[in-house]
Chains A and B, each alone.
Chain A
Amino acid sequence: MTVMDFFGCAFLAFGPPLAMFTFTIAAEPIRIIILIASAFFWLISLLLSSILWYAVVPLQENLAFGLVFSVLFQESFRYLLYWVLRKAERGLEKVTTTHVADSRHIFAYVCGLGFGFMSGAFALVNVLADAVGPGTMGLLQGTEYFFIISAATTLCFILLHTFWGVIFFSALDKKNWGHIIWVVGTHLFVSCMTLLNRYQAYAASLLSAYIVLVITTVLAFKIAGGWIQTSILHFQRN
């Protein structure tokens, strides 16, 4: 019967990203290519994190260590991806009809989503695999809402990665160091908050993650040129 749990959690975590993929990414081949490239970059960052973790034996038991370095690796690779994309802009112009230089926000968004997809998949697939079985969490430790909380956190991270991508790329374009610090800082903060999960303080980690998500979303919206007043005006006009 926990097949229901499986699908519930899968929908919760991957439903919104899937919707974003279907409507915004799948429309153009170049975006799919960039999505995959960014997912690949995230994978390399994971690989480096694991090599580091594997090499530093005494700190293997210490989660915070691995976590902090993993975040730093991810952010470095986000920068690398930015750098590579900027280099490749001219080349990309030749293979696509889109003006790459004009749609930088879109590509930042695509890169962020690629990061999010990959990290979300790695975060949740193991959990989902165990959600199918007849049992749920709570006999030895944890709560029976463990799977839902996991899925909700994954969703939050996928969305965060997407908007971090938008903010980070534009901040690099404009040399806006404040935004870069915001991205790296909140990434560290949200990740570290999840360390509280071991003390079953799920509310604290989940709530802080979503608060950061809201702020980041607003920031990304503004950076991408979103203008709430005109939007509201527009909807009122309709």
Chain B
Amino acid sequence: MAKMTMEIWKYILVLIIVNSVATERIKDMIYMPLEGVAACFRRHNGTHQFGCSSSRSGSVGVVHLIEGDGDITWIERNATAGPYTVVLPFDMFTRNTLIRLRNTNNINGVLLTRNISLERPSSYSPEDTCPNRYSGYKKCNKMKPWNPFGSALLLEDWSFPMFYTENQTVLEAIKSCFQRHNAHDLETQYQRSLCAIEMKSFMYAAVNSESCIKRTDFNLNFNPTQFCDPLGDRNIHWPLAPLNEDSNSIIMVTARLDASSLFDGISPGAGNVVTGLVTLIATAYYLNHLNATVDKTNVVFSLLNGEAFDYIGSSRMVYDLKHNNFNALGGINLNIDHIKSVIEFGQLGRGKIFLHSNGEDDIINRLQNALKVSNNSVLHDSVPPTSVQSFLEANPNLTTVVISNHGLQFKNQYYNGILDDVESLGFNRNDTSTLASDLANIALQVANELYQMVTGEQDPQLAYPSLSDVKDLISEMLYCYLESAKCTLFRESSAPNVKLINHVLPLYVGVHRAPNLATSLTGQLLAYLTGEKLFEMNETMCHENRLAWMGGANFSGLCINSTVNYSAAVSPAFIIDGYDMKSGVYSTWTESIWQTLSVRMFLKPSAATERFSMILGSLIAGISFVLVWFINNRADVLFNSRLKATVHFTTAQAAAYGTFSSYDRVTSVVSLIKD
């Protein structure tokens, strides 16, 4: 009731009647929350911390719109009302700019904005020039690094919070607020109330993975405080045929499942991940239809997760294989020696294909012929920074082939950046002739070669699925991953009536505690495309037999018997007892815990206004104390009436005429009363 009365009093009472329809609090009139922003957050490895964090209560900075170099110089030299929050356009978001801003020590936040009407920058990759530089088998050539566009923004500890938005209304609001309050009379800015932005993205973890895990003391608390979580998720595996109990000869076909970026919730990884991923699924789909009779050689398709962070998925898989612990495939222990060769789908795209090979094997030549790769596009002893690095580290004699669209340097200008999206890939759903067609061709040829290697026979020319069917499948998959997860294929492969989100799936691996949606959907899709369809089963029978119940072609439900399985993709560093986090053998990436990620804009009062209210308040309070004391002391004189002249009066008078004799006092009192 008290709350309600207070609510209502707002309508009634004078002061609060500033707004006629005051369903809002004063707070809502002061602050304008900025919606649709993505935060930069903090990650750790064994030795360092990376990313951004605000102060615990939020970092407040005066808005300054950066449009050119001159604005940064102004902040460096002439700014008076700091600390500032700078609003950067995308083409200014470079390492150089950020370092300059950091060096001013006058920055409390960076809001990266993208005006979608403007052209995107020619390159933006926050990844290192040598991705996963300190891990893997083959070191990167520093003179000719894999990722020439890399700015290594991801590998920096920023002292201020950063947010990204492409919400144009937010951008307009900030601009108009800046123009109205901040932009004029820059020299005397500090005298005015200014438009400011508060960023809240406080990160609980600090220093490095080791110390933040140590701080989570499970022994002392029943409900321990978490500070950070290891990165990780699940790998997805599908064997072409059930494995043999004893000896196996395996051709691994892998692709990575995760991308990364500087901002939470946006890691499209289009050219980096999705192209290879969908090609692998299409290959598996086609090979499954070829109905190969497996004899000695088997094929295992694996989608590896967390590869952007020092090969979490592949290193864990190799670790399990080495320790005879890998039994995701039908409960049979697979060993690293069983693996004969690894074919990886790297970054793919339109046009020319390159093969990065290691070792000498027939498989390389066969793939070269099948994919019609010219001799100078076959790079021997070349190992791009992908999953094969982990396999080669365990067994340097392994034959590996990475099929990619790049030679010694990436063609993708947005590797692990937020711009590595559908637009940069140039994908158009209705046009299956270019990208989808090229990827379908790769998938088909690789599947045919695999068929020959498994059976030793020529591949049968299938009527279904034909090349154009695979094309359509790839086109549909690209749509699912690049444009919206609310698509036909994901609906068909999810349980009926599951709500799918209507935006691009973030492919960031995330923390192992929270299952990744992209992984689940991908695993289901692979199961749906390669599994056996049991039309005669209904939902209860399907669940009783521990099979997967999916939407099916008309979304009404279909039982799928599939051998797709998952294995943990958490770095061995977190399962080995007493692992030295600084040794650099395994990935040690962790992600900090946070509570809120929010940005709001408001008017920051000038120091003058604050001083004025403080001085006015203190002055009035002080004067009133003196005045009331005075009036109260002289109440007898001021209120010249009988009823006041009682006890109060005499004591006050006694004090006032303290020097008189007692007789005098009495007479004076009496005379005053008579008045």
The chain A residues found within 8 Å of chain B, CB to CB, are 1-2, 4-5, 7-12, 14-16, 18-20, 22-24, 46-47, 49-50, 53-54, 60-61, 63, 66-67, 70, 98-99, 102-105, 119, 122-124, 126-127, 130, 133-142, 144-151, 153-155, 157, 190-191, 194-195, 197-198, 205, 221, 224-227, 230-231, 234-235
Q: Which of A20, A54, A139, A234 contacts B195 (CB 8 A)?
A: A139
CA distance A197 to B29 in the complex (A): 14
Once A20-B628, A140-B32, A154-B15 are accepted as A-B contacts, the answer to whether A134 and B604 lie under 8 Å apart by CB is yes
The number of residue pairs between A and B whose CB atoms lie closer than 8 Å in the complex comes to 238
The answer to whether A135 and B602 touch across the interface, beta carbons within 8 angstroms, is yes
CA distance A60 to B465 in the complex (A): 67
Chain B's closest residue to A238 (CB) is B656
The answer to whether B637 and A147 touch across the interface, beta carbons within 8 angstroms, is no
Q: Nearest Cβ distance between residue A226 and chain B, in whole angstroms?
A: 5
CA distance A168 to B151 in the complex (A): 77
B 1-17 to A, binary, CB cutoff 8 A, 1 in contact else 0: 10011101111111111
Any A CB within 8 A of the CB of B534: no
Q: What are 12 residue pairs bridging A and B, where the CB atoms are less than 8 Å apart in the complex?
A: A1-B610, A7-B614, A11-B617, A11-B620, A16-B621, A24-B632, A127-B26, A135-B603, A136-B30, A191-B14, A225-B641, A226-B640
Chain B's closest residue to A192 (CB) is B14
Any A CB within 8 A of the CB of B365: no
Chain B's closest residue to A200 (CB) is B18
Residues of B within 8 A of A20 (CB): 624, 628
Residues of B within 8 A of A157 (CB): 14
The answer to whether A11 and B628 touch across the interface, beta carbons within 8 angstroms, is no
Q: Nearest Cβ distance between residue A73 and chain B, in whole angstroms?
A: 10
Residues of A within 8 A of B27 (CB): 130, 133
- When A and B form their complex, which 10 residue pairs have the shortest distance between CB atoms, in order from nearest? A15-B621, A135-B602, A225-B641, A8-B613, A11-B617, A16-B624, A194-B14, A8-B617, A12-B617, A50-B8
Q: Nearest Cβ distance between residue B644 and chain A, in whole angstroms?
A: 7
The answer to whether B605 and A144 touch across the interface, beta carbons within 8 angstroms, is yes
Any A CB within 8 A of the CB of B74: no
Q: Nearest Cβ distance between residue B365 and chain A, in whole angstroms?
A: 67
Kindly name the residue among B14, B627, B642 whose own CB sees the greatest number of chain A CB atoms within 10 A. B14
Q: State the main secondary structure of chain B at its contact with A.
A: helix
Q: Which of A2, A66, A139, A144 contacts B177 (CB 8 A)?
A: A139
The answer to whether B29 and A140 touch across the interface, beta carbons within 8 angstroms, is yes
Having A7-B614, A134-B602, A154-B15, one finds 6 other A-B pairs with CB under 8 Å, namely: A8-B616, A15-B624, A136-B609, A137-B26, A139-B603, A151-B617
Once A11-B620, A15-B617, A127-B26 are accepted as A-B contacts, the answer to whether A137 and B14 lie under 8 Å apart by CB is no
Q: Which of B4, B15, B625, B629 contacts A124 (CB 8 A)?
A: B15
Q: State the main secondary structure of chain A at its contact with B.
A: helix
CA distance A230 to B642 in the complex (A): 14
Residues of B within 8 A of A103 (CB): 643-644, 646
Residues of B within 8 A of A8 (CB): 610, 612-618
The answer to whether B6 and A134 touch across the interface, beta carbons within 8 angstroms, is no
The answer to whether A134 and B196 touch across the interface, beta carbons within 8 angstroms, is yes
Any A CB within 8 A of the CB of B607: yes
The answer to whether B1 and A102 touch across the interface, beta carbons within 8 angstroms, is no
The answer to whether A138 and B640 touch across the interface, beta carbons within 8 angstroms, is no
Once A8-B616, A191-B14 are accepted as A-B contacts, the answer to whether A19 and B625 lie under 8 Å apart by CB is yes
The answer to whether B617 and A123 touch across the interface, beta carbons within 8 angstroms, is no
The answer to whether B21 and A61 touch across the interface, beta carbons within 8 angstroms, is yes
Q: Nearest Cβ distance between residue B351 and chain A, in whole angstroms?
A: 51
The answer to whether A141 and B18 touch across the interface, beta carbons within 8 angstroms, is yes
Residues of A within 8 A of B629 (CB): 19, 23
Residues of B within 8 A of A2 (CB): 605, 610
Residues 622 to 675 of chain B near chain A (Cβ within 8 Å): 622, 624-625, 627-629, 632, 634, 637-644, 646-647, 675
The answer to whether B618 and A138 touch across the interface, beta carbons within 8 angstroms, is no
CA distance A155 to B620 in the complex (A): 10
B 48-92 to A, binary, CB cutoff 8 A, 1 in contact else 0: 000000000010100000000000000000000000000000000
The answer to whether A126 and B617 touch across the interface, beta carbons within 8 angstroms, is no
Once A12-B620, A15-B620, A140-B29 are accepted as A-B contacts, the answer to whether A105 and B643 lie under 8 Å apart by CB is yes
Q: Nearest Cβ distance between residue A237 and chain B, in whole angstroms?
A: 10
